[in-house]
Structure 1
Amino acid sequence: MWKKSLAFVTALFFALSIGQSVFAAIDTSAMEKALDEDLKSTHYDYKKGSVEVEDPKTFTGEKGEQVIGGIAVLETVRDGIFITIKREIHFFNADSGKLLTNADAAKIDGVKGYIDSNSDNLKQKVVYWLPMLLMILLIAVPAVILYVVVPRLYSTTEYMNPIYERNDNPR
C-alpha cells in the first residue's frame, strides 16, 4: 500500500510540474513569421522557413505594449553545399506585429540584461560534413576508376598472348 501511494504522489507532482511549464510557454509563431519575412532581406542566402526562436522572454514596452525577445536560430545556405547555422537576438512587438530595431529595443527596461546574459549564446556554426564529403568523392571516384575499372578494360596484350605463345613454342 505504501509503495502505491508513494507512486501516486510522485506521478501527481510530475504531472503538475509538466502542466506549469506548458502554461508558462510564450507563443512565438507570429515572431517567427515576421522574422522569416525580414531575414530574406538581410541575409541573401537565408534558407526560408528555417528560423526558430529559443529562450523567449517577454518585456513591457514604454507604452505598455508586450515585447518578445528571443534568440533566432537560422540557417544560411550558399551554393547548395555551404551551410551555416547562425544565432542572433531579435525583438518583436507583439501588439503591432513588427520587429523592433536595436535602437528601439534598447529603450525597453530589462533588454540590456537579457542581451548581456545571452551574449555567449550568439555563435555561428559552419556545417563541414557536406563539403568534406564532396572533396573525398573528388579523390575517391578517380581512384576507383584507376584501380578497379581500368585494369578490367579490353587489353590487346592479354588478347594477343595466346597467339604469341603458340608461335614461340613450335610443336
Structure 2
Amino acid sequence: MGMLKKAWASLLAVIFILTIAPMNTSANEAFLDALEEDLKATHYDYKEGTAEIIKEETLRHSNGNEVIAAVVELDTIRDGIFITRKTEYHYFDATDNKILTSADLVEVEGASEFADANIDMLGQQIVYWLPVLVLLLLIAIPALILFLVVPRFYSTSSYMNAVYEKNDNPR
C-alpha cells in the first residue's frame, strides 16, 4: 500500500510541476518571439533559440505604454565552431508588441537608469573549447596515423631480423 501512495504522490508532483511551469506571462513570451525576429535581422550569425532574459524591469513610455527593459544573453556562431556568448540590452513595448530601437528610448522613463545600473552585466565571451578541440584533432589524427598505422604497413626491421640472426651479420 505504501508503494502505491508513493507512486500516486510522485505522479501528482509531476502533474503539479508541469502545470506551474507554463504559467509564464504572455508579455514575456511575446517579448521573446519579437526578440527572436529582431535578433535574426540584426545579428547575421545569431544562433536561433539561444536568447535568454537574465534580468528585466518594467518601465513606462511617455505615451503610457508599458515597456520591458531586459538584459538578454544570446549566442552567435560563425563557421560552425566559433561561438560567442553576448549580453546586451533590449527594450520591448508590451502594449504595441514591438522591440524598441535606441532612438525610441528617449521617450522611455528610466531607460538610462536601467542601462547604468546593469552596465557591468554587458559584454561578450568567446567559447574556446570547440575551436581548440578541432585544432587538437588536426594535430592528433595525423600523429596517430604517423606513429601507429604507418609502421605496420612497411617495417624493414621486423622483416630483416630473421635474416640478420641467421647469418650472424655484424652490421
Do the two structures share a fold, i.e. TM-score over 0.5?
yes
Once the two structures are overlaid, the 10-residue window that deviates more, 67-76 or 151-160, is 151-160
Counterpart of 1:57?
A: 57
Cα distance in 2 between the residues matched to 1:136 and 1:168: 46
Structure 1 runs of 4+ off > 6 angstroms? none
Counterpart of 2:144?
A: 144
Residue type matched to 2:75 in 1?
Answer: E
Query: Do 2:59 and 2:109's aligned partners in 1 also have CA atoms closer than 8 Å?
Result: yes
Task: State the identity as a percent.
Answer: 50
Q: How far off is 1:146 after superposition?
A: 1.9
Q: How far off is 1:164 after superposition?
A: 5.2
Counterpart of 1:47?
A: 47
Query: Do 2:74 and 2:87's aligned partners in 1 also have CA atoms closer than 8 Å?
Result: yes
TM score, norm. by length of structure 2: 0.77
Instruction: Give unmatched runs, 5+ long, in structure 2.
Output: 1-22
Note the 1:35-114 alignment, pairs <5 A.
Answer: 35-114=35-114
Counterpart of 1:5?
A: none
Instruction: Give unmatched runs, 5+ long, in structure 1.
Output: 1-22
Residue type matched to 1:33 in 2?
Answer: D
SS of the aligned residue for 2:86 comes to strand
Residue type matched to 2:125 in 1?
Answer: K
Residue type matched to 2:106 in 1?
Answer: A
Aligned pairs, number? 146
Query: Do 1:26 and 1:56's aligned partners in 2 also have CA atoms closer than 8 Å?
Result: no
Cα distance in 1 between the residues matched to 2:78 and 2:96: 33
Once the two structures are overlaid, the 10-residue window that deviates more, 48-57 or 122-131, is 48-57
Give the aligned CA root-mean-square deviation in angstroms: 2.1
Cα distance in 2 between the residues matched to 1:73 and 1:52: 5
Q: 1:141 to 1:155 in 2, by over 3 A?
A: same
